[in-house]
Structure 1
Amino acid sequence: MNYAEFLAAVGERARMPAVQAENVVRATLTTLSEGISGGEARHLATRVPEELRGYLYKDVDFAERIDLVEFLNEVGVRAGTDDERTAEGARAVLTTLREAMSAEDLDKLESELPKDFRRLLRPADRSVGA
C-alpha cells in the first residue's frame, strides 16, 4: 500500500477529509512509537509507506508505558481532534496498519502494548474496511 492509499483508507474508515486523516495518521504513529520499543518501532516502520516511516523513528529502545486513555488523549492533542474523532481516527490508522502486517507482527506489537489496546487493534464486530 502506498502513501496515498494509506491516507485514503484511513480517511474512508474514519469518515474524515484527507488533511485531517493525515494529521491523525501522523499523531497516531508518533504516539504509538513512544509506547513500543525502538526495535519494534523500526520493524513497524518497514510496514508503512516510506513517507510515514519518520513518525515511527526512534533511536532509543525505551518504551514509555501508556494506557489507552493516555494514548488517545495524546493523539487528540497532536492531531487537534475531539475525543470521538480521535478514537475513530486512531482505530482507522491501526486497522489500516494491521492490514499491512502479518499475524506474527501483530502479535509482537500487541505484546508490547497494554491489553486495552486490543480495542483499537482488533475491534470486535467490525468487518474489514469498516
Structure 2
Amino acid sequence: MADLEFFEKVAARASVQSETARSLTEATLRTLAERISGGEAADLADHVAHELRPLLARARPEEPEAFGYDEFLRRVAERAGVARDVAERGVSAVLQTLDPVVGHQQFEQALSQLPAEIRTMAQPVPRRP
C-alpha cells in the first residue's frame, strides 16, 4: 500500500484531515518503534511503503522502552501537535490500517509487546447491523 493510500485510510478511520492523518501516522509509527523491539519494528518496516520505513527505524536495535498507554498517547499527541482525543483516534486508525498491510500474524507478534490497552486500540469497533 502506498503511503498516500495509507494516510487516506487513517484520515477516514480517525475522521481527520489528510495532513493530520499524515502527522498522526508519523507520530504513531515513531512511538510504536520506541515501544517494541528493534527486530519487530524492522519486520513491520519491511511491509510498509518505502516512505514510512524510516519511521520504524530504531537507533538501538533490540531494547524497547517501557512505557504504558498514557505515555504512548502523550508522545503521539505531542509529536503530531494534536489533542489527546485526536491522538487516541489516530493511534487506533493507524494500528487498524497497519494490520492488513503487514499481515495479521506479524502484526499480532509485534503488538504482543504492547500493554493490553494499546493492543485493544487495534481492534475495529464492531459495526451495528
**TM superposition score normalised by structure 1:** 0.91
State the aligned residue count.
127
- Give the deviation of 1:14 after TM superposition: 0.9
Taking the aligned partners of 1:99 and 1:66, their CA distance within structure 2 comes to 26
Which one-letter code corresponds to 1:117 in the other structure? I
Equivalent residue, structure 2, for 1:118: 119
Deviation by residue 1:36-91 (Cα, 9 ceiling, x = unmatched): 01100111101211101111001321100111111011100000110111111111
Equivalent residue, structure 1, for 2:88: 87
For the aligned residues, what is the CA RMSD? 1.5
Equivalent residue, structure 1, for 2:51: 51
Pick closer, same or farther for the CA change 1:126–1:109 going to 2, 3 Å.
farther
Matches within 5 A, 1:1-80: 1-60=1-60, 61-80=62-81
Taking the aligned partners of 1:49 and 1:13, their CA distance within structure 2 comes to 19
Structure 2 spans left out of the alignment, 5+ residues? none
Structure 1 spans left out of the alignment, 5+ residues? none
Q: Which runs of 4+ in 1 moved over 6 A?
A: none
- Give the deviation of 1:103 after TM superposition: 2.4
Equivalent residue, structure 1, for 2:100: 99
Taking the aligned partners of 1:67 and 1:124, their CA distance within structure 2 comes to 22
